[in-house]
Amino acid sequence: MVPCIAAAPPFTPFPSKFQLFPKPNLPSNPYKFTRSFALSSSSSSSPPPTITTTPTGPVVRKRKRYRKPYPGENEGIVEEMRFVAMRLRNSSNGRGREEEEENKGEELEDAWRPSMEGFVKYLVDSKLVFDTLERIVDESSDVAYVYFRKTGLERSTSLSNDLEWFKQQEIVIPEPSSPGVTYASYLKELAESSAPSFLCHFYNIYFAHVTGGLGIGRKVCGKLLEGKELEFYKWDSDVQLLLKDVREKLNKLGEHWTREEKNKCLREAAKSFRFSGQIIRLIIL
| pLDDT per residue rounded down to tens, the chain (285 residues) | 445 445 555 555 545 444 544 555 555 554 444 444 443 444 444 555 555 555 565 665 666 665 566 666 677 899 999 888 888 877 765 444 334 434 433 444 455 789 999 999 999 999 999 999 999 999 998 899 999 999 999 999 999 999 999 999 999 999 999 999 999 999 999 999 999 999 999 999 999 999 999 999 999 999 999 889 999 999 999 999 999 999 999 999 999 999 999 999 999 999 999 999 999 999 987
Strands (E), the chain: 53-54, 57-58
Domains and CATH numbers, the chain: 113-284 (1.20.910.10)
Per DSSP, helices labelled H in 50-173 are 77-93, 97-102, 108-111, 116-139, 143-146, 156-168
Which residues lie closer than 8 Å to 257 by C-beta, 6 or more apart?
77, 196, 265
Q: What is the pTM of this model?
A: 0.70
